[in-house]
Structure 1
Amino acid sequence: MRGQHLTPVEDALSHMLARAPAISVLEEVPLTDALGRILAQDHRVPADVPPADNSAVDGYALRQGDLFPGVVLPVSARVPAGTAPGPLQPGTAARIFTGSEIPEGADSVVMQERVTVSDDGIEVQAEVSEGQNIRRRGQDLAAGDLALAEGTLIRPQEMGLLASMGFASVPVRKKLKVAILTTGDELVEPGLPLAPGQIYNTNRFTLLGLLSRAGCEVVLCETLEDTRDATRATLQRAAESADLVITSGGVSVGEEDHVRTVLEDGGELSLWRLAIKPGKPLAFGTMAGTPVLGLPGNPAAVLVTFLVAGMPFIRKCQGRSTIAPTPEQLPAAFSVESASVRREFVRARKEVVDGKMSVAAFHNQSSGVLSSACWANGLAVVPENTTVKTGDLLTYYSFSDLLA
């Protein structure tokens, strides 16, 4: 195990990512079920998309060279979408609709709003350039090109792109199996009455939501008894059923904090105590060869440490092509007068101040105040040994990007 000093965030992430086991099992799923899954193979374009030149508007297909002032072009054909048109007769126009294939010989499409229609044909009332309103064959995707790389998270837009190439199913990585273990004899499930000294089990539901958003499968969700033997037995059972075990609480220095000591005695504890605020007592190790991420017990600290340390680790296990989100740089609408040796992740939100975008902090940054995260829409980063004045640029991560 590393020493008792506080491990910098970058060092902790490097240590964890180097030990992230990759999911090697693949499965084929229908495209309808692919949302949120991780693509397991490169996908190249089997044929041009679109497969032929087509019209971007409802209007008339014609030859730009047939136009001169006052000319009336007879309408020689009608081209509905989904039909193969014949060649365009010289000196004429073809009625065409959005998505319809361009007839051979036509080089432009004029919007129907730009023409005057008579029994004799159409008279164009606007300038026409060659190629106008035509979507070219292969404009979106060219045959043979790499469309989507292995490790891509499939979002709605990727589903549409895969459909445009004709894929009805896709190979994806199996979902990461995660066990959630919350600690504390004081924890009670929501819906039950609270006795003196009891609190509701907040962290279980925060973690369930986070893991669902991360595309994981929760295979075990239990509350540990505050004894070393029970902690050891449940950790062992969780490790045998999951690819990753996440605990909340039990990793500090209290007499009833058994997760850390069980890892030290019966598994491996390779990381403990981060230079992060909130969430200093974070632990990482293995039990029966399965990674164990021990998060703090305070609700806001659970959220922050999961987003900062847990999500990159999960992305690496999932084989994603992108491990870390891209942050923004925004001026602070708050100040921090006392520098800390720990990097602080401030629950914050983007706001417009004096016509400019800035990032404001929730008034109470206590690690037990989860309402701060409901008010916020992201995390602003205050570096170690740094004070902040209003207007200073800070790194900001939105919750949506942290969980993407």
Structure 2
Amino acid sequence: MDSCANPGLMPIDDALTKMLEVITPINHTTNKPLSDTVGYVLAQDLHSPINVPPFDNSAMDGYAVRIDDLSTTTTLTVVGKSFAGIPFSGDWPKGSCIRIMTGAKIPAGCDAVIMQEQATVNGEEVNFSQALPLRKHQNIRTLGEDIGQNDLVLPKGHRLTPRDIPMVATLGIPSLTVLNKPKVAFFSTGDELQPLGTELKDGEIYDSNRYGIKIMLEKFGCEAIDLGVIPDDKVKLRQTFIQAQQQADVVITSGGVSVGEADYTKEILEELGKVGFWKIAMKPGKPFAFGQLLSQDHSSDAIFCGLPGNPVSAILTLYILVQPLLAKLCGHSNWQPQPTIPAKAMTGFKKFPGRTDFQRGIYSINEYGQFEVSSTGNQSSGAFRSMSLANCFIVLESERGSVEAGETVTIQTFAPAFYS
């Protein structure tokens, strides 16, 4: 069933296309110390200035030998030592070997290293019979075998991870040129929302969405600007929109995008910019809004994303719809959504055709290596405990109806930004 079954609801893929069409990646750069670059995106290709390793070195504690010396005997005399940082120097007579440690420079003429566990030591004499036969370059890390000088190490647009930092450090590079992180201002709307630690009055609830939004924005590689909770007052909301637009590249609200009498967001957006679309053919998360906040000279234009107020809807739309937008804005050119995986439904899933449904599930892998998935229970958009229990989304296609146990469904496991 297509979006015609739900007039006014935009299919998810169409919404993503429209959002990404108006995004221009940030091009402002900064140079940061290597230790401070995790989460930033490289502004230029990174090529290696050196070979790694920079010299042939030993992969084992053992003995450096010349294979020819063991063609007529199995016993050699130790005539010197090579340690990491203190290489062997001097003459190396025929029919002898050199004690060597892991990471130490390979002496000239050596073509194999025999690990110490395969050597029998008797004073200065070492018998290698149990190590024979040898192969050339055995236990030797050769010059540049990991990274060659001028090799492309990381491409422009790569978002730096903790795994990248020690690798870049081996190249001797102290700092990197990276793209500035996009600034994202966000706030919640609603008279009912109260700060944590206060006593709730009748009809009030705690403001929870901002806590999840802030953490996820930071994990997406953004600078998060928390503007707090704004009451359902049109004047105050308009002032906050203007303040947010002046500070940020993207403005995100939570709540105020439904059709209630106190939901002023659409009206303000039409005054300050333009509406791209309103309402998505997804569940939960239908009342998601997208648009632009515009300045007269376009010097402080900002993208607007309006998340629903229900906790699950807010986090789901941020994850599914806003994350790709922010990835493009960050210049993160190799970003990809989590892959989908077929899984056997171990429980039933209630659904009506017409919208893509993201239900919360718990997947496991059975003894045959097959994915299985069960519901976390309550799938209400206001029930966040089911999100906390989950480790995946069960993605039920728009045209699909309810699912019986035993059917095959599609799951999408959570990305690190969602669980770590």
What is the TM-score of this pair, normalised by structure 1? 0.94
**Secondary structure, in 3 states, of the residue corresponding to 2:76?**
coil
| Stretches of structure 2 lacking an aligned partner (at least 5 in a row) | 1-5, 295-300
Q: CA shift at 1:104, angstroms?
A: 1.1
Q: CA shift at 1:88, angstroms?
A: 4.3
| Stretches of structure 1 lacking an aligned partner (at least 5 in a row) | none
The answer to whether the aligner puts 1:275 opposite 2:281 as a matched pair is yes
- Corresponding position of 2:169: 163
Q: CA offsets, 1:214-266, max 9 Å, x none?
A: 22112342212202222212111111111110101111111111112211233
- Is contact 2:281–2:356 with CA below 8 Å preserved after alignment? yes
The answer to whether the aligner puts 1:111 opposite 2:125 as a matched pair is no
Report % sequence identity: 36
Q: CA offsets, 1:127-151, max 9 Å, x none?
A: 3221111111111111111100111
Q: CA separation in 2, counterparts of 1:186 and 1:142?
A: 61
- Corresponding position of 1:56: 59
Q: CA separation in 1, counterparts of 2:407 and 2:113?
A: 52
- Corresponding position of 1:35: 38
- Is contact 2:216–2:418 with CA below 8 Å preserved after alignment? no
- Structure 2 counterparts to residues 279-290 of structure 1, below 5 A: 279-288=285-294, 289-290=301-302
Q: CA separation in 2, counterparts of 1:50 and 1:249?
A: 55
Letter in 1 for 2:330: Q
Q: Indicate the RMSD between aligned Cα atoms, in angstroms.
A: 2.0
- Corresponding position of 2:414: 398
- Is contact 2:395–2:409 with CA below 8 Å preserved after alignment? no
Letter in 2 for 1:116: T
Structure 1 residues 353, 42: closer, same or farther in 2, change over 3 A?
same
- Corresponding position of 2:348: 335
Letter in 1 for 2:33: P
What is the TM-score of this pair, normalised by structure 2? 0.91
- Is contact 1:182–1:223 with CA below 8 Å preserved after alignment? yes
- Is contact 1:325–1:401 with CA below 8 Å preserved after alignment? no
Q: CA offsets, 1:41-68, max 9 Å, x none?
A: 1100111111111111111111223224
Q: CA offsets, 1:142-199, max 9 Å, x none?
A: 1111100111111111111110111101111112111111010000000111111110
The more displaced of 357-366 and 284-293 is 357-366
How many residues are aligned here? Answer: 402
- Corresponding position of 1:76: 79
- Structure 2 counterparts to residues 250-329 of structure 1, below 5 A: 250-288=256-294, 289-329=301-341
Letter in 2 for 1:336: F
Q: CA separation in 1, counterparts of 2:65 and 2:361?
A: 57
The more displaced of 377-386 and 197-206 is 377-386
- Is contact 1:379–1:399 with CA below 8 Å preserved after alignment? no
The more displaced of 393-402 and 299-308 is 393-402
Q: CA separation in 2, counterparts of 1:298 and 1:135?
A: 57
Q: Segments of 4+ in structure 1 off by > 4 A? A: 401-404
Q: CA separation in 1, counterparts of 2:190 and 2:260?
A: 12
The more displaced of 11-20 and 209-218 is 209-218
- Corresponding position of 1:349: 362
